[in-house]
Structure 1
Amino acid sequence: MQRALPSSRQLTAGVFYTLLGAVCFGTTGTIQAFAPEGCQPMAVGTMRLVVGGLVMLLWVHFRSGFTHHVPWPKKATFTAAAGIVIFQILFFQSLVRTGVAVGTVIAIGFGPMAGGIIEYLLRGTIPSRSWFTATVLALCGLVLLSIDDTATVDMTGIIMALGAGAGYALYAANSQTILADRSPQEMIAILFTFGGIAMSPILFVYDISWMFTMRGFISIVLIGVIGTAMAYSFFATGLAILPLSSGLTLGLAEPLVATLFGILLLGEVCSFQTAMGICIIFSGMIVIARNPS
């Protein structure tokens, strides 16, 4: 289905919702860091989907109900859910190896590049000139981060973060097909429920006793509600309006929030080189925000 071209006012709203979602996303790494010692990234990622999916199911049920007059696009739904699972598996593992700030920058920074490629392969849409400019800036910033000897980074963590970014882009690309006939809240409810069910066997592998402590319970609720349900709902609302490549580039606001929390709340080191890399990526986000179409 060919989407109608959005108006200038709609594009502005799309930018706002996308940035709001990115800010909510940026809290996930810090919330995980405050979880009890011994919590496993895979278990955190699984519970994030379970809680986020449950919250959105309840929201849709009591607010508007599900749309029944059109069928779900099965291929897009399955692929988007797979992208979410890939992201959860690799993202939280990468944060352990690279740190919250750098891991988030790499994972989300790679998203626009992967998104532009996927958008071209799926729809034949050539990304805008601003996307190419932002992508070059993001690549330069990622190079600075990856060669920074003072940052807590290893190559395995970087590869995991890049894989997470690819999964993130895969979800975003297919979500636009679903959003043609469904609300963002409906889509998130179904995708995260599927993702939570797919990852639930992980909970039988790891020790999850930490979840039943007060600190563990609060961490899971916060990461499920703020870092998942709210984040993906706002972000999907923006993606329903903006081109995929532009929406993912605006998502680079997430690592800026993650970096701020990582430095101010977790005491992570931010060298001059790391700061320069993040600023260069941020400049790419500004390019897209000025010309999102």
Structure 2
Amino acid sequence: MSILQMFAAARGPLVIALCAVLWGTVGIAVLQLYQLGNIVPAAIGFYRLSLAAVLLGALCCAFRKCLPSGRDLAVVALMGAAQAAYQGCYFVAVRESGVVVAALVTLCMAPLWVAALSAALWRERLGWRARGALLLALAGTVLLISAPGNTGADIRGALWACGSALGYAVFVLAGRTLADRHDPLSVTAPAFGVGALLLLPLAGPSGVAVVLPAEGWAIVLYLGALPTALAYLLFMDALRVTSATLASTVTLLEPLVSTLLAALVFGERLGAGGWLGAALLLAALVALTRLEQTRAAPTIPVTSTR
């Protein structure tokens, strides 16, 4: 195999790894925003989604993508509501428990919520592996928030993270119903717009009109442009040349990046029990990833909190 062939084969995983790194910086960016100004979680979510919606909407116009219509608009609205719940809950979780707990619980619980909701709504069989993964995730979450030596661990933050994972799971499942009829870009752009509109009243006039230094607004622009709009586009392109299994494995870089950055920038630490809890959560995620090998790959990945 030539060097060019090797590069072509590695392009997909390398791009997905870049996306995972970008997603892993979200929690750190949000914590920095909290320190720079009195900004509320809903306002952060509003700015992130609205900026991403504008950027992705511009691409829809440039490439003349057809937007959903009729009953599919209701599904897009549901996706927007789920995205608003995900954003709001995740940013509260970061504020209450720090980046490590919020990222690990949200990332690992999202596919479990997908499996549970699929079993409830479409009667997909919840086999022993999925049930075992659920038990592992619950045990890991308990250890993560209760073991001594974990910096900032708080049950309220973990509950908000579980709510964030539920919102993302609904976003994924709703997106699956449109996958065969619409381009992902033409679905995600309006969904992000709906999510931003729903977060607007929660942020309130004072939240939207928050006073931030130039550094703060630069972080807001970063959140909307790079780990949201750009990372999404890169990820969807890379999925065309990368198997779903490999993509799911590479995105495990996200919690690693979040943990390392949280330790370096904010001094967040996990004790021995916390690391055991993190290992159990990741084991649950790997079990669900292998379970997905026997199913059709989702249009919207379930292994990233984005």
Deviates more, 1:46-55 or 1:68-77: 68-77
1:80–1:175 contact (8 Å) kept in structure 2: yes
Whole-angstrom CA distance in 2 between matches of 1:69 and 1:165: 25
Counterpart amino acid of 2:160?
M
Q: Identify the residue that residue 72 of structure 2 maps to in structure 1.
A: 73
Equivalences for 1:185-264 in 2 at 5 Å? 185-201=185-201, 202-206=203-207, 208-211=209-212, 213-233=213-233, 253-264=253-264
Unpaired segments of 5 or more residues in structure 2? 1-9, 294-306
Whole-angstrom CA distance in 1 between matches of 2:80 and 2:117: 16
2:93–2:158 contact (8 Å) kept in structure 1: yes
TM-aligned CA deviation for residue 24 of structure 1: 3.1
Q: Does 1:285 align with 2:285?
A: yes
TM-aligned CA deviation for residue 219 of structure 1: 0.4
Q: Identify the residue that residue 39 of structure 1 maps to in structure 2.
A: 39
Q: Does 1:27 align with 2:28?
A: no
TM-aligned CA deviation for residue 107 of structure 1: 2.1
TM-aligned CA deviation for residue 88 of structure 1: 1.6
- Superposed CA deviations along residues 127-180 of structure 1, whole A, max 9, x for unmatched, are 566544443332332121021233212222222111111111111110111222
Whole-angstrom CA distance in 2 between matches of 1:160 and 1:104: 11
Distance 1:174 1:285, change over 3 A: same
Distance 1:148 1:279, change over 3 A: same
TM-aligned CA deviation for residue 248 of structure 1: 8.4
Distance 1:156 1:290, change over 3 A: closer
TM-aligned CA deviation for residue 29 of structure 1: 0.7
Counterpart amino acid of 1:27?
T
Distance 1:178 1:113, change over 3 A: same
Q: Identify the residue that residue 139 of structure 1 maps to in structure 2.
A: 138
Unpaired segments of 5 or more residues in structure 1? 1-11
Distance 1:93 1:69, change over 3 A: closer
Deviates more, 1:232-241 or 1:37-46: 232-241
Q: CA RMSD in A?
A: 3.4
TM-aligned CA deviation for residue 67 of structure 1: 2.0
Whole-angstrom CA distance in 2 between matches of 1:22 and 1:72: 33
Whole-angstrom CA distance in 2 between matches of 1:109 and 1:118: 15
Counterpart amino acid of 1:180?
D
Q: Identify the residue that residue 97 of structure 1 maps to in structure 2.
A: 96
Deviates more, 1:265-274 or 1:184-193: 265-274
Q: Identify the residue that residue 7 of structure 1 maps to in structure 2.
A: none
Q: Does 1:109 align with 2:108?
A: yes
Equivalences for 1:142-181 in 2 at 5 Å? 142-151=141-150, 152-181=152-181
- Superposed CA deviations along residues 187-218 of structure 1, whole A, max 9, x for unmatched, are 2111001111222232413273434x320121
Whole-angstrom CA distance in 2 between matches of 1:227 and 1:279: 25
Whole-angstrom CA distance in 2 between matches of 1:247 and 1:178: 21
- Superposed CA deviations along residues 20-41 of structure 1, whole A, max 9, x for unmatched, are 6544322211111222232322
1:188–1:229 contact (8 Å) kept in structure 2: no
Aligned length: 279
2:82–2:168 contact (8 Å) kept in structure 1: yes
1:250–1:289 contact (8 Å) kept in structure 2: no
Secondary structure of the 1:112 match is: helix
TM-aligned CA deviation for residue 267 of structure 1: 1.6
- Superposed CA deviations along residues 228-247 of structure 1, whole A, max 9, x for unmatched, are 2234445667999999xx99
1:138–1:284 contact (8 Å) kept in structure 2: yes
2:28–2:258 contact (8 Å) kept in structure 1: yes
Distance 1:238 1:164, change over 3 A: farther
TM-aligned CA deviation for residue 226 of structure 1: 2.2
Q: Does 1:119 align with 2:118?
A: yes
Q: Quick one: percent identity of the two aligned structures?
A: 22
Equivalences for 1:46-57 in 2 at 5 Å? 46-57=46-57
1:15–1:292 contact (8 Å) kept in structure 2: no
2:108–2:284 contact (8 Å) kept in structure 1: no
Deviates more, 1:147-156 or 1:122-131: 122-131
Whole-angstrom CA distance in 2 between matches of 1:107 and 1:68: 30
